[in-house]
Each structure stands twice: as structure tokens, then as C-alpha cells.
Structure 1
């Protein structure tokens, strides 16, 4: 909610130096937006006489009546309120007596009634308490009587925006000081007032008017003497018109000569291009104007000589002027010695660089700067703010700031508010906020903070005075209790964690927040918690927002926490649980009901009785109040359900426990006798191979089958020299044999396992060169296993045996697998004898078949 109010609050500026104090005071209640921005939940009903439909806020201080084509007369509302708003009706005339019953009103708005053409004089005669009157957006209302406002002796603000008026004099004659002696603010914006003549404001001679707004009126001429009757005028808004700088300079000079001391001048949207008119700026520099608004013009380059010396200027608004460059001395103290607030938001500045800032500033707004087409991220130079020791408010929202470091905000020792919302910040360096020791408000909403890191204490060190911390929509999934960042913020009063991905939050996380008043956890993924949070942490926020989470029922810990928060000392505490997924059945709500009946305090029971959070299931109770279900528990036979549930727990639990014990015992036995089991499996494979998977492959068939290789050589890399000798003796002397050797014959890029399988199948014989290194190699063990399966697969009782064993030297028994042990014990193998090599090679040839 602070995210919504911040842009509005940032424009507040007080020339007397109390800007920061007033701003901080206004942020104290950021969790509760103004009532007129809220929905209108209270239905007052339809007024029979007028046909208008009326609704009100919870406190019924504001009543709104509307009706489109039904509401034809001014409504008669019997309930008293502070404000009445009559909108979007088809009322054509408002007559004397229609408002006599509303003497209690302080605010009256008659807006957007497109058929309203006439308001009879004397209509407001009884509204002696009225302070604010708006008659706006009634486009058919083209004139008002000079006696229309009689009776409004306490009226301070009069708004006549966007009606059908085209002559100022026809309006001001009704605003004579004798009729409106207390009038302070007049808004005539968005009317067709093309000219303001010399006598336009003459009827208001002697008025106490301080603020005049005539923006967006298509004005093309203002007489130099037109504002002279308004002796007490302080604020003048003439933006978005068609006035030239000479006209403006003329009436400003005349006003200055007549001692009309303006303090605020709005020149926004007047079409000034390239740079502000220098002659007009020189005139303004001579006046008493302290706040100058030049927004919505076009000054792409703000150079060092753009502005003359302007001693009185305390606020300068240059938002959305399409600036892409600011000179290093454009706002130097020598030109603006009293400048305290500078607004440069909504421009195309690529970042903040040294000497672009005025050292005497209290408020700096650089939000929403998109940069040029070539700008990727918004840059903040190292130590840019070193000399900005007086700065209290810094707004950097809506900028593409990628990361912030310990040097980014160095020098901002007196900073009170830092707004970094809606950026692209994904990295916060350690000690980033160490320099901002007096910071009270930190807004980091809508940044991907947790994209590649967890939030830690080191990042937020130095925030001992922080009171408002906003982490809305930052992707936060959890907080680390061992490195609790909130230990750095002992004075925190408002913690906004809305719209993150929190499944839970712990008491340890909350413990440091003893001064917490508002905790917003809305729009997360929180479920019912099983351990007390607030009772265990000792934290008592006055406002706890848990709307739109995944809470399905009330655990005992939740009820204890709610009871703790609603103690008599905290009678104003608000706990919002709307839009959760409450399951209204016996299993979810029976224990809640029992606890409330036995242990619930009067305050706790009243909270549940008056609550409006709804059931989401089952279908019978969908969209009905949880409180209604709790009062119906007695008649829903939940006691019998509870007894049956206890029996079913025993029935389901006992077999499950027995099954788990048996599985554990079997697992222990399997692990203990795993060696024997492997050997038994090995023997079983051999038996199965001999009895069940034999193929009727006769010796003749083997002879007839075309093999690519005579033999596949399975060997260890360390024995490759012996393999080279084998290639020499078997492939170069008759009878010539074709051997498959992995280093030579495997296709480059193929998978090794697939190549081995393919080569074994394409070879008539498989030769295993068994050595100590062979027995230790995992790949050779695997090839041995494949060769044995290959032999079993072809075994059919004939003399053909594709497996040939060659033993190279001594092989240690500890490296022999069960398969190798079995093969060496059951098959005749050749042993390499270096002293009788000719005989060895002869026997090896014979092993490949005497027919060769």
C-alpha cells in the first residue's frame, strides 16, 4: 500500500524545512489507505423518491449515490455522514430545498451528471458546515447564477472542473468575498476558457483565495492585470494551455509590482522546446516564487547555462521533459543556493553520474528514467552521493538498476527514505546500506532480489533506524533463521511481504521485530502453521494481513496466536484472513470448534463470529462464512465422526507399522548376506542359460554364418604390447585371421558400450587376455560378463565354444570376479610362455578352429 502512496507523498514539499517530518508522519499509517479509495461495502439501499442507489464505506463517513438512467432527482439519504458524492445520474435540475437535510456535510461532490443543466440559487443555503464543494464533469452545465453559493460561509475549496463554462467573469461573480469569505482554493481546469480579460477576477476583489488552478483550459491570452485583484494568491496553475512566455512574464511582473507574492507556479505542458525561455526565467528569478513546475515540456539537454541564478527556488519540477543529458553544474549551489527538492523523473537519463547533483538537496526524484536506445541498465557511478550529505529522500523507482554495492549510497548519512521499487535489482552487496544509518523507509518492491542469492544480515547492516521495509513481489521463498536479516532492523514497525512465495515463516524470524505494528503477508503460499509464531516470538502487530494464501484450517497454534493478538490491550488489532482456502468439514474444523468452546476468550469468540472469511469446500459450504459453519458443528454429528476417525487411525496404523518393520528386517538381511546372494544369482544365470535360453545353433550353421571378424580381443590397455604381437603373428602369417581390436577397429564417435556389443556379435570367437590389470579393470569385467552371456546363448551341446581364454602371468585372487573364477576353474585356457612362443601361437590358431 505504501507503493501506491509514495509517488503522491514524494511531491510534498514544505519551504519551512519540515518536509521530512511531515512526510514521515504521513507514512506512519501507510497500511490503511484513505477511505475514499476503498470499496463501498455497506449497502444503504435504493432511495424510493429519487431512484438512486447509495452505498457507503465501513465507517459510513462517505456515502456515494449513483443510478445511471434511474436516478432522476437528488437523493434523500437519511444517514448522517461527512461526505456525500452524487455521481453518474440523469439529474437535470437541482432545486432549492433538495439539499436542506444535509446540513451535517463537510464534503459534497456533484460530479459526472451529464444531463445536469441548472442549479437553483439557494440550493446550498443550509450547508453552513460545508468546506469542500465539487461540481465537476457536468458537461451540460454551462452557467451558474451569481447567488448560487449563498450560505457557504465556511467553504474553503471549490472545484468546477470540466463543465461547459466558457467565460471566467460569469463564474467569479458568484465567488464574491461577501458570499465565500473563507475560499482558499479554486479549480477551474478543463473548461473552455480561452481568454482571461482584465476584469475577469474583478468581482473577487478582497478575496482570501490562495490557490488558483486553470490548467487545460485552451487559454491563449491572459491580460497582464487580470490577477491583480487576487492579492493573497500564492499558487497559480496555468499548465497545458497555449500561452507564450511573453504573456506569462508580463502578468508575473505586474503581480510582483503589486506585491502579490506567488510561491508556486505551474508551467507544465506549455510546449517549451529545447530549453526554458531564458527571459521568462529571469523574470521568475526576480519574483518570490519558490516552487517552479516545468514538467511535460521538451528539454532534451539541460546544460550548465540553461538556468540563470534563481535564489528563491526551493523546488524545481522537471519530470517528463525528455531529458537525456544534465550538465555537471546545471543545479550548482551557486545558481540554486536554496534548492531543496529536484524532480527529474520520467526522463531518458542513462544514470546518475558525479557532479550531476546539487549538494544542498533534501529531496531528489530520479525515478522512471528509461535511458536511450543503447542503454541496457541504469548506471550509478561509484561514490556519486559522497557530497549529498543533506539528502533526506531519494526516489530511484522504475529504473533498470542491476545491482547495488557498499559504495552506491556512500555519503547519504541523513537519508530518511530510499525508494528502489520496480527495478531490476538482483544483487545487493554486503554493507550496501551501511552508509544510510538514519534510513527510516526502504522500498525494494518488485525487484528480483532472490534470483541468485538469499537475503542476509550482511546486506542490510546499518539499518538500525529502519521503520518501514517493503519487500513486495521480490520472489522471497524463505528467511534464514541462522542469518536473520531482521536482526539488523530492531525498530521496524511496518513489514510488507505481500505477493512473494513464502510457504511458512518462523517465530525465530519474527523475534527481533518487537516494535512491529503492521505485518503484510498477503498473496503468498502460507499454510496453517503448527507451532505458535506470535506467542513464541513475543511480537504483537496491530495489523496482520494474511489474505489470499493457502490456509485451509485453524490449527491450535493458529488459534492461540490469534487469541494472543486479540488480547484486551490490543482491542484495535486487525487480522485479515479473507480469500483463503478454508475446508469446512469435521476433520478440519471440529478441533477448532472444541478449542473455542473450552478455551476461547470472549474477544476471540467475537472475532470468529464477526469474521467474513469464507469456506472454499466442500460444495455444500462453498462461499459461506466459516463462522456460520462453526455455529453449525453441533448439528453435524462431528463427535461421531471423531470417534470413527480415531478407530480408523488404529486400523490403518497397525498394519503399516508391521509392514515397515518387515521391510527393514528384509533389507538388513539382504545387506548382511549380499556377497552370497550375488554368487547365487551368478550360478542361477548359468543354470538358466544352459536350460532355458539355448538356441538350436548347430556347428554347421556357425560355419555357414558370415562373421566380420574371426575373433574379438578383450584386453586391458596395459597389455596393448602383447596385442600388437598377436596382430603380427595372427594377421600377417597364414592362415590369415581378421581380429577386432578396439583401438584400431572401433568407429570414431560411436558409444563404447554399443561398439563392444556390436563387435562381439560380429566375431566368431571372443578372446579374453586375462592379466592382473585385466582383472582390476571395470570395462574388462563388463566385457567378460558379456562374453560369458554370449557363450551361454550359443551353447547347444556341440563342440563349438566361442570363448577363448589366454592367461598372461600371475593373477591375484583378490581381483578375480565370480565369473572369472568360474571360467578359470571350468575351462581350459592358454598361458603365455615367453620361452616357447611358437608353440603358444600355434595352439592359439588351433583354438580358432582346425578348419582354418
Structure 2
């Protein structure tokens, strides 16, 4: 999210391009890196309830600038709700069949309206938009019963700029175009008719739109197999034409492009992606485009395995060339040479099969942006993505280099030589585990560096020498790199004195020190979310002098507010007042007198007004005890005076004064002993049972060994399992008890006597069984009873080692077990004992092996 906000840097530094380039290609830069998240559409916390008139349920953002109404079964009419100053209304997934005149009259203040995904909508009455004169964006998409638009459907939308009609049931373009007449939609500049089944466009299809201001026309995925050469001649203002993934042949495209030139239509962007071109771009079309005003050419999702020097003619106007996902395995050295593409500034080659960057592969002297991400190579290429020495020696104008999602394992001090003017380097989601000393030194003007999702610390720690030369770096992203700590004696952040954004989310940091942060005097955003941070005792930000305006500490292991934390919060809040953002959600705050009373009293005596206000308004939630779970910490602190915390404090002080230290120690010891005896009473009874069995072992070992060899067991095996694995156990019973040699299993649901204590029954059954079978699954690891049975089984194996000739413990693993649920005993058993793994494919072999193990020592 933060990354996307800084993508404007690329365009800002496009000093060789005009303002139109900066405007037109902003969407490209946003899509290459993390796209901006529409927070309003994702967060709808306010429930507006059900509209009684229509049956629709509605939710909104906290500011009510976005309202979404829905209802798969109840919502049969267009909702009539009071939306106040709402900017955008979305009505989706309803059973509305038609929208009639008057249904929308009350929404006259809307700027955007979306009527999407309504499977029964088939009619839009003319005049329904008569009162929406302020509407600028309208989407009526994914309504699979809507097949026709009447001529006056959009009357009243005098300010409408964007009309989206994607994936409806329109089949004849001539039937709906009259609804787009310029006297009806005088401000329309974008029309998206993608994913409708038009098949062909005849000569007079767009005749009703003669004189329209339309600049962008989208006809993607429309099954078009014919476009009349003169079909677009009436759209004089057209700047962008998107006809991606249709069935048009090269001559048809050539003919209508030729007629558009003759009609004086100056296209700036042409999308020919996914058109089925093979081997090389159609030379005749490329020569045609070379003589037009087209600046952006999209040829993605075609198939050009080898991009040679002769695939493109001289193209003097092309500034952006999109060759993503064209199956390219090699690029000739002069394919994009400045002599052929003098104005080329953005080259997109992501999603191909390029095995690396060879000095003879690509020429990018004139480029500002080069995207080589997601190149997986081929089966015959090397395992890792390789970058040759000196590849970027002549790329001095390059501002943005994207190498994300490539299997780059290491980079050295010669890798980026020549990129002295690079501003953004993206290497996220790779396999990078080695950074050579001085690797980033050639990029002295680098401002954004993304190394997220790389195993950087798998083999070495991060050092200052690796990041030398990043004096102008503004943003560093080290998300999910396995970082456990930073070395204060060799502080890498001393190389980045101008850093403003530091993203360290999803690592393994337990703490962060004052010395680590001290060099970052200009830090504004610090993201430490999804780590293992605990409450810090000494102030960090106050001591280091660092004052970020955004501090993200979500999803850590913070259990309480220490005095050092409170001092830091007070320091940040007093500096920036209400503008600072401190997020502590999803931590493990314990809301009891012991953890919160001292902080509460400190706040009452020393806390500033702004700090008190922060706690009062914060949504930080308690995680325990149960009575306060998922309730606000602020509510607990405000109720402290009513919770006997004062009595608790006075009582504790008085007892310390009255009782002597020996008395306290004695009482505490007795309480601990009583608690341990009560808690582990079942285990103690079992240990006593084992002690009786082991008594006198040294005197009768030989006799005992002989007796054990001849001991008659009631069961061949005791089966320990969780209820989730009941079906597997039933299959085991069928395989082992119903077929030779007819083994006898102890199953608690069948064999335990009614009325006996469960613990006694388990102890008796284990002692009466020759083997103990543990069926280990994720549910088994979660179950408290199964864990207890595992302990008993292990103790039985260890303490009864009295000459028994076989190991009674048999492990069966039925699926993947999450590591967080494994106890120490289970981990030890799985690492030290050979276990059987259940698979459907080899079930017969599995039962045969298990039957042999149980019969072997019978």
C-alpha cells in the first residue's frame, strides 16, 4: 500500500518525456508494483440495516461516502435509503428484475453508481437517470439477463464521463449504440463494452455517435471476427482503442487502421493483446502503426518465442511497448535499439521465459522503465535467473527496473554498474540470499528498494557494507525476509540517512533497539507488523529521537503497556498531535489489574491530555481473560476504579508488611505443591502404578523378562485417535479385525465400560495392549485428550523397559500437521521413530505393513 503511493516518483523523474507521457502511463506503473488498494470498497464496517421497501441489506464506510446494498434473495426492488452525502452507491448481487422511472430520483447527489452482478435484471426503463445530473461514473455490468438498451435509457446524464457495460447479454451492437448519442451523453469520454457477444461491427454501427467526445473505447473479449474498415470513422475524438482477445485477422486490423488514418483519427493507444499472432508481430500492421500517432502499443499475450532485430520496423512514435507473456525465450541485441525505437521509454517484458539478462539480449539506452519480472526460463535453461556483468552499462537513463518474481540467487558489486540514475529497484518475491559488498553502490540516486519476500538472512546477516552508497534512499522494503535482529555493531541503517519509509512486516523480530533506529532521523513510516515483538521496558523512540508519523505494530506479541511504551506513545503524540497514526491491533493484551493497574495510575498522574485521548479513542482489544476478550482496552482502563483494583493494591501492600518472608515462602510453596498435585493427579496415579511395576526390577529382571515374553494381552493394540479420524479408524477395524490373522483392537467408543472413569479406562487399556497405535493428524495434535494419551504412551514405553523384546509404540501419520500444534513429545517421536504415512494410492501396501508390525511380536 505504501509502495504504491510512491510510484509517482518514476513519472516525476521521467525528465525526457512530456507531461502527456506522465499522465497516460501512470496506470502502467501502478500495475507493475503493488497496485493501490481501494480501502473504501474493502472496509464497510457500518451496518445500515435492511431497507423495508426493497428488502436490501446495506453497509457503508464510516464516513458514508460509499454505500453498498445487496441481497441474494430478499432484494427484489431498487433500494430507497437515505444516503446523505454519499459519493458512490453500489447495488449488486440482488434479484432486481427491472429498474423503473422514479427508483433513482432521490440519489441526485451521486458521483458514481454501480449496478453490477444482478442476475435477473433485464430492463432499464428510459428516464430512470433523469435526476442524476451530477453522475460522472456509471457501471451496469455482469447482469446476464440485460440484452437491450432503449434509445433514451441514459437521458439526464449530462455529466457522465465513464460508462461501463461489461459482460451483459448484448449481442447486437447496433441495437445499443443509439443510447450513446452525444446529445444524450454530451460528456462521455470512456465506453467499455467488453465481454459481450457482438461478433461483428458493420460500417454504420457508430453512426449515431457522430460528433461524440468519446476518447476511450473498450471492445475486449467480444468474439469479434469482423470490423468494417469504416466502422470507427465517426469517432473523431478517439484516442484509445482496446480490442484485446478477439478473433480478428491481421488484414481486417490493417484495413480499419488505414481508414482511421484517412479519417483523421489520431489514436494514442492501441491494444492488440491476445490476438493470436504467432512467431512475430505482423509486419504490415507494424509498418502501418509506425506511420500513425500511436504512442502506446500493447502486444501482450501473443506468441513471439524469438524477438529478433527485424521483427519491428522503424517506429519513431512508440513510447510504450507491452510484450508481456509472449513466451519469449530470447531477445536479439538490437531488437529495441534507439535507432529503431528512438522514443521508447517503457518496455514491458514480464511473464516470459527469459532465462536471465545477457549483455547481448537487450538494448535499453533510451528506456526509463524496464520490466523483466516473472521470467521463469525454460526446462533447458539454468535453474536460477542470471544477470551478466556489464548488462546495464549503457542504461544511464533508466529510472525504474523491475526484477520481481525471478529466481535471482545472488547479486554483486558489478551487477548494477551503469544504473547511476535509477530511482526504483524492485526485486521482491525472488530467491535472493546473497548480497555482495557494495552491490548498491553504483545506484547512488536510488530512492525505493524493494527486497521483500526473499530469504536474505538464510545464510548471512545483513551488514552495512552490503548497503553502502544508498545515501538518497527514501523507502526500504524488507517484508518477509526472515530477519530476527539487526546488528547494532554494524548498523546497516547508517548507510541510509535519508530513509523515510521502513517496511519490516512479517519477519521474526523479537525486539528493536535504540541503536538500530538512531541513524534514521527522517523516518516517517515504520511498519513492524506481523513480527514477534513484546512489550519494551525502556523507551525506544524517545531515546533515539525518531518520530515517525505512522507506526504499525499490528499482530505482534505485545501483552501489556510498559512504562517505556507509554513514554514513547506520549512522545510521538505530543510531537504530531492528531496526525500521528499508531496501530496496535491484534496483539495479546491482558486486561487484568496486574498488567494494567500501574499504567492506569501513571496515566492519571503523569499522562498528558493527548495521551489520555488516544487511549479513550483507540480500538485496541483485549485478548484475555475471557470476560474481556475482544473488548476494548480503553473500556477496561475506564472501569478499573470499579473492579476492586484499588483494594487489591492495598491488600497486597498490607500483607507484605505484616507477613514475614519465610511465611510467604512457605505458603507459596504449599500452594504450588497443592496446585501441582491437583493438576497432575492423573499422571501421579499413573506414575505410582509404574513405580509398583518397576519395584524390585533389579532382583527379578530375568524372571520378569521371561514372564513378559509369555504375557497374555487382552488386545493386540490400543488405538489413540481424535473424532475427526473416526472414518479412518473404522477402515482400520475392517482391515485388521475382519481379515486374517484377525487382530483385536481396543477402541474407546466400543470397548470402554460404561460408568468407568475415562482416565482409569485408558490406563487399564494401555497396560492390557501389546501395542499402542497413535493416529497422528492435525486434529490429533489439537486435542487435549490425544496429547495426554501420547504422554501416557511415551511414559509406558520408557518406564516399562524391563526386557520387553519389542517397542510397543506404533505411529501412523494421516496428513500434514501444522508445526504450531506439535507438542515437544510429538516432535520428539516424529523425529526419532519411523512412522507409517497413510496415502489413498498405496492403501493395500499400507495395511499389509501395519498388519505385519502388529503380528510380528504376537
Same fold (TM over 0.5): yes
Q: What is the DSSP-based 3-state SS (H/G/I as helix, E as strand, rest coil) of the residue aligned with 2:579?
A: coil
- CA distance in 1: counterparts of 2:197 and 2:6, whole angstroms: 33
CA contact (8 A) 1:389 1:411 kept: yes
User: Are the structure 2 counterparts of residues 646 and 501 from structure 1 closer, same or farther at C-alpha, using a change threshold of 3 Å?
Assistant: farther
- CA distance in 2: counterparts of 1:337 and 1:17, whole angstroms: 18
1:584 aligns with 2:588: no
User: Are the structure 2 counterparts of residues 365 and 5 from structure 1 closer, same or farther at C-alpha, using a change threshold of 3 Å?
Assistant: farther
- CA distance in 1: counterparts of 2:399 and 2:549, whole angstroms: 28
1:295 aligns with 2:297: no
Aligned-residue offset at 1:228: 0.5
User: Are the structure 2 counterparts of residues 307 and 8 from structure 1 closer, same or farther at C-alpha, using a change threshold of 3 Å?
Assistant: farther
Give the equivalent residue in structure 2 for 1:739: none
Give the equivalent residue in structure 1 for 2:18: 16
Return 5+ residue gaps in structure 2 as ranges. Answer: 667-858
- Give runs of aligned pairs for residues 117-132 of structure 1, distance below 5 A: 117-132=122-137
- CA distance in 2: counterparts of 1:146 and 1:371, whole angstroms: 53
Give the equivalent residue in structure 2 for 1:418: 425
Give the equivalent residue in structure 1 for 2:630: 623
- The CA deviation string for residues 273-308 of structure 1, in whole angstroms up to 9 with x for no partner, is 111111111111111111110001111111111111
User: Are the structure 2 counterparts of residues 23 and 540 from structure 1 closer, same or farther at C-alpha, using a change threshold of 3 Å?
Assistant: farther
- CA distance in 2: counterparts of 1:25 and 1:217, whole angstroms: 24
CA contact (8 A) 1:20 1:392 kept: no
CA contact (8 A) 2:10 2:423 kept: no
- Give runs of aligned pairs for residues 253-268 of structure 1, distance below 5 A: 253-268=258-273
1:451 aligns with 2:453: no
- The CA deviation string for residues 554-608 of structure 1, in whole angstroms up to 9 with x for no partner, is 0011111112222274312111111100101111111121122122222222221
Aligned-residue offset at 1:65: 0.9
CA contact (8 A) 1:613 1:626 kept: yes
Q: Which stretch has the larger CA shift, 431-440 or 596-605?
A: 596-605
Q: What is the DSSP-based 3-state SS (H/G/I as helix, E as strand, rest coil) of the residue aligned with 1:299?
A: coil
Aligned-residue offset at 1:615: 1.0
CA contact (8 A) 1:31 1:518 kept: no
1:563 aligns with 2:570: yes
CA contact (8 A) 2:8 2:26 kept: no
- CA distance in 2: counterparts of 1:193 and 1:487, whole angstroms: 61
The count of residues paired between Structure 1 and Structure 2 equals 658
CA contact (8 A) 2:440 2:468 kept: yes
- CA distance in 2: counterparts of 1:506 and 1:31, whole angstroms: 33
Q: What is the DSSP-based 3-state SS (H/G/I as helix, E as strand, rest coil) of the residue aligned with 1:101?
A: helix
Aligned-residue offset at 1:241: 0.4
- CA distance in 1: counterparts of 2:335 and 2:293, whole angstroms: 21
- CA distance in 1: counterparts of 2:519 and 2:28, whole angstroms: 24
- CA distance in 2: counterparts of 1:574 and 1:599, whole angstroms: 22
- CA distance in 1: counterparts of 2:659 and 2:511, whole angstroms: 30
- CA distance in 2: counterparts of 1:54 and 1:90, whole angstroms: 15
Return 5+ residue gaps in structure 1 as ranges. Answer: 660-852
- The CA deviation string for residues 518-562 of structure 1, in whole angstroms up to 9 with x for no partner, is 111110000001111121222222211111000000001111111
- CA distance in 1: counterparts of 2:496 and 2:660, whole angstroms: 47
1:225 aligns with 2:227: no
- The CA deviation string for residues 34-55 of structure 1, in whole angstroms up to 9 with x for no partner, is 3334321121221111111111
1:40 aligns with 2:44: yes
- CA distance in 1: counterparts of 2:660 and 2:206, whole angstroms: 89
Aligned-residue offset at 1:58: 2.8
- Give runs of aligned pairs for residues 51-70 of structure 1, distance below 5 A: 51-70=55-74
Q: What is the DSSP-based 3-state SS (H/G/I as helix, E as strand, rest coil) of the residue aligned with 1:571?
A: helix
- Give runs of aligned pairs for residues 269-284 of structure 1, distance below 5 A: 269-284=274-289
Aligned-residue offset at 1:481: 1.8
Indicate which of 351, 371, 374 corresponds to 2:377.
371
Give the equivalent residue in structure 2 for 1:384: 391
- The CA deviation string for residues 736-767 of structure 1, in whole angstroms up to 9 with x for no partner, is xxxxxxxxxxxxxxxxxxxxxxxxxxxxxxxx
Give the equivalent residue in structure 2 for 1:716: none
1:539 aligns with 2:543: no
- The CA deviation string for residues 193-222 of structure 1, in whole angstroms up to 9 with x for no partner, is 111111111111111111000000000000
Aligned-residue offset at 1:235: 0.5
Q: Which stretch has the larger CA shift, 32-41 or 237-246?
A: 32-41
Aligned-residue offset at 1:510: 1.6
- CA distance in 2: counterparts of 1:295 and 1:145, whole angstroms: 36
Indicate which of 600, 609, 617 corresponds to 1:610.
617
- CA distance in 1: counterparts of 2:387 and 2:629, whole angstroms: 53
Indicate which of 50, 53, 58 corresponds to 1:49.
53
Aligned-residue offset at 1:505: 0.8
- CA distance in 1: counterparts of 2:517 and 2:27, whole angstroms: 24
Indicate which of 64, 81, 88 corresponds to 1:77.
81
- CA distance in 2: counterparts of 1:60 and 1:128, whole angstroms: 21
Give the equivalent residue in structure 2 for 1:408: 415
Give the equivalent residue in structure 2 for 1:107: 112
- CA distance in 2: counterparts of 1:321 and 1:394, whole angstroms: 20
Give the equivalent residue in structure 1 for 2:753: none
Aligned-residue offset at 1:644: 4.4
Q: Based on CA coordinates, which of the two structures has the bigger radius of gyration? A: 1
Give the equivalent residue in structure 2 for 1:470: 477
CA contact (8 A) 1:38 1:57 kept: no
CA contact (8 A) 2:101 2:127 kept: yes
Aligned-residue offset at 1:390: 0.4
- The CA deviation string for residues 385-409 of structure 1, in whole angstroms up to 9 with x for no partner, is 0100000010000000001111111
User: Are the structure 2 counterparts of residues 236 and 442 from structure 1 closer, same or farther at C-alpha, using a change threshold of 3 Å?
Assistant: same
Q: What is the DSSP-based 3-state SS (H/G/I as helix, E as strand, rest coil) of the residue aligned with 1:321?
A: coil
Aligned-residue offset at 1:648: 7.2
Aligned-residue offset at 1:97: 1.1
Q: What is the DSSP-based 3-state SS (H/G/I as helix, E as strand, rest coil) of the residue aligned with 1:284?
A: helix
- CA distance in 2: counterparts of 1:542 and 1:3, whole angstroms: 16
Give the equivalent residue in structure 1 for 2:366: 360
Aligned-residue offset at 1:267: 0.4
CA contact (8 A) 2:4 2:34 kept: no
Question: With structure 1 as the length reference, what TM-score do the two structures score?
Answer: 0.74
1:432 aligns with 2:434: no
Aligned-residue offset at 1:32: 8.1
- CA distance in 2: counterparts of 1:97 and 1:495, whole angstroms: 53
CA contact (8 A) 1:562 1:604 kept: yes
Give the equivalent residue in structure 2 for 1:487: 494
- CA distance in 2: counterparts of 1:592 and 1:353, whole angstroms: 61
- CA distance in 1: counterparts of 2:188 and 2:230, whole angstroms: 21
User: Are the structure 2 counterparts of residues 74 and 270 from structure 1 closer, same or farther at C-alpha, using a change threshold of 3 Å?
Assistant: same
Q: What is the DSSP-based 3-state SS (H/G/I as helix, E as strand, rest coil) of the residue aligned with 2:235?
A: coil
